[in-house]
Amino acid sequence: MAFRSNGPVMVALPPFRGVTRLIILTALCVFLGLAVLALVLPSVAAALADHLLLTPLLAVRGQLWQFVTYAFMPSGLLSLLFALLSMWFFGAALEDELGSQWLLEYFFASTVGGALLASLLSYAIASHAPELGPANSTAGLWPAVLAILLAYARFHAEEPLRFNFILTVKAKYLAAIYLLIYLAMALVGGNRFGALVAVCAAACGFIYLRFAPRRGLGFATSEGWYGLRNEFYKAKRRRAAKKFTVYMRKQGKDVSIDDDGRYVDPNGRSRNPRNPNDKRWMN
């Protein structure tokens, strides 16, 4: 368990909002809903949980929602509590810096990507390690938390964090410690498949951080789309300006048009009452 600190002891509480709040509230609602259902209809609650956990053997046979729902399934009260607190502290900080869209993309890229990669590996090594085979199940938010901690360490490598309210370590070392713990658990620990999913989620998060644009794929896509749209309108304006130039020549008048399709006053005066260098009005 780690927290950002504003000093040797003080814990900084981030704002509770946006995508971070949505993730936390979703996990809490699932936990409370299953708890109530287990009191009323325990058999139904157990059957429902079996279909919401990540079990590669079931996921590849059509239960594709497991690649998402496993992250919101509780793996124990204390585990859920610490995972939600870690998500709050590190997720909120990243959301403030990079935006809600980036955090949402990163969360699903690491969560879904980690589940897919771990499922493929479970089939590949099932004969050598039955504890990692596709019949095993896992649940919990810790794979996403590990990926988010990795992202936080990427952008705040030297920032000191308070670990379990006792030790103060830099973010990059804390991320390395957690990653090594999960890697060791995947090799020799008890919940080996769960640890494998966490390591795979961290790997997918690293790939996203390495190759995705800093503002996220959605932002880059929208910027590219608007750039193409603007180029299209500029091309139409240039074609219209060229036709206008030909028409005016037939009338015995010469007009000048710049590369963006704007009329150039021969006397040097702009027909645009605004700043002639401001091209935003053209779109």
Where are the chain's structural domains? 2-212, 220-282
Span 2-212: which CATH code?
1.20.1540.10
Whether the pLDDT of residue 195 is over 70: the answer is yes
SS3 151: helix
Q: How far is CA 85 from CA 33, 72, 74, in A?
A: 20, 14, 14
Contact at 8 Å (CB) between 194 and 140?
yes
Percent of the chain with pLDDT strictly greater than 70: 73
Name the band, by pLDDT with cuts 50, 70 and 90, for residue 280: very low
pLDDT, tens digit, 9 for 90 and up, residues 67-107 = 999 999 988 888 899 999 999 999 999 999 999 999 999 99
Contact at 8 Å (CB) between 42 and 205?
no
SS3 8: coil
Identity of residue 277: N
Sign of the C-alpha dihedral, residues 197, 199, 201, 204? Answer: negative
pLDDT, tens digit, 9 for 90 and up, residues 231-249 = 666 767 777 767 777 766 7
